[in-house]
Amino acid sequence: MTAMCPAILVAAPASGQGKTTVASALARLHARAGRRVRAFKCGPDFLDPHWLALATGQPVHNLDLWMTGEDDARARLHAAAAESDLIVVEGVMGLFDGEPSAADLAQCFGLPVLAVIDASAMAGTFGALAFGLQHFRPGLPWAGVLANRVASARHAQMLQDALVGDGTRTDSFFLGAVMRDAAFSLPERHLGLTVASEIPDALARLDAAADALAGTPLGRMDTAALAQWSVSFASPSVPPAQTPSLSGKTIAVAKDAAFCFVYPANLDVLRGLGAELVFFSPLADDPLPPCDAVWLPGGYPELHATTLSSGTACRAGLSAHVKAGRPLWAECGGMMLLFDTLVTLEGETHAMWGLLPGTVAMQKRLAALGPQRLTLPAGELRGHTFHYSRCESSLEPVRRTEPARGGASGAGEAMYRLGSVQATYFHAWFASSPAATASLFLPGGTD
């Protein structure tokens, strides 16, 4: 049974054009009007979904034709369409960047593309960019173009005129101009946008952006106008039933400003496998809750190294957990916490929690980025890597991930094991293999 719902994919010619601001503002504008809005993020990003979730008040899932897979994406879009008045999907990088790209997702599901272009330093070239994005790939569903960071009403008119040019081109559906305004800028740091929960006026920023968007043709669209972007989402195939292999198990999940890179879908998978989830904060030095296994997800331990270094209760709890032979799965920032030392970009050295031998050091440049796969005896987990640190350890990797598209030997991320601790820079999408996921949280499950 198909489900119909207006949907739009917010894209851009490159990163840094304002996709997240516009997508969040559009979602916030309609949510404030009482409409049921669901938002999604194209690609593996952890940070932008925090802003989209704040705008909608709903969980935000990732859609990626390789990492999450077409069937998973179809199921999530179908479920959202059945209960929503609008679906907003934020693209990734530039519209045609990556394999798969945001354009691939748009074509796969028939999502009309809204191109957001930072027009702050252009006039006539705006028309060329919009025309190219619209026509570069035949058959791409198209909604229109929005000019962002515009200087004045006169500038906005120049941009709109550029879409038609000498009259030989058709208008690419100018949906308005958003003026440059610091009131709704979203702060950034080395991995991307700052997490919304860390910004005291985050919602006020989104409301200011929504107010600015409300003055554009895009922002003035009501339910009837949105219907022109209605998309029919086909019924998904029925997934195989999950074996409740974690039934009766309690998994403690680190959750705070230092460990916040968690896909909501991953928590759903663990619960679907029968696990009970409890949460704790290493940053607050919470005692480790009674549990059978621990998950330390990624985040920003480097920003909180001083506080984490002084923690005692949580460190003692994790140490006792490991000495008892209970599983501990650590991803990226979670792994960084477990090494002996962490060296910041400024050269400051902090004692970490010493459950793995070695040192992790922050780098000025990106150390690794891209989709990866981890092959375990129980199945293949898909995911990605994205980090600015490097680690040196006396441990030999027990296995390595592989780049999604192949690559040189050793190009993947190391997976370390010491006793019941398993750790890697790799971020896993648990739904890609529930059986492999379960094995991470069972004693000896990945042998």
Q: Tokens standing for 27? A: 């979602």
Q: pLDDT per residue over 45-80, tens digit each? A: 998 999 999 999 999 999 999 999 999 999 999 999
Catalytic residue among 260, 291, 314, 332: 332
CB 115 within 8 A of CB 137: no
Asked if omega into 13 is within 30° of 0 (cis), the reply is no
Asked whether this chain's domains 3-233 and 250-440 adopt the same fold, the reply is yes
Q: pLDDT per residue over 374-384, tens digit each? A: 999 999 999 99
The tokens 């992790």 sit on which residue? 360
Check whether 408 has a pLDDT greater than 70: no
What single-letter amino acid sits at 434?
A: P
pLDDT band at 242 (very low <50, low <70, confident <90, very high): confident
What DSSP assignment string belongs to 165-200? TTTTS----EEEEEE--GGG---EETTEEPPGGG-T
- The residues spanned by each domain of the chain are 3-233, 250-440
Sign of CA dihedral 300, 303, 305, 308: negative
CB 381 within 8 A of CB 374: yes
CATH architecture of 3-233: 3-Layer(aba) Sandwich (3.40)
Tell me the CA distances in angstroms from 403 to 42, 139, 371, 385, one per residue in order. 19, 30, 6, 9
Our answer to whether residue 332 is catalytic in this structure is yes
Is domain 250-440 given the CATH code 3.40.50.880 in the classification?
Answer: yes
The pLDDT, as a whole number, for residue 273 is: 97
Neighbours of 444 (CB within 10 A): 9
Element (H, E) at 154: helix 153-164
Segment among 108-117, 366-375, 425-434 with least mean pLDDT: 366-375
pLDDT band at 366 (very low <50, low <70, confident <90, very high): confident
What single-letter amino acid sits at 241?
A: A
HSE value, Cβ hemisphere, 13 Å, CA-based, for 204: 5
- Interacting residues of 238 by C-beta distance below 8 A, sequence separation 6+: none
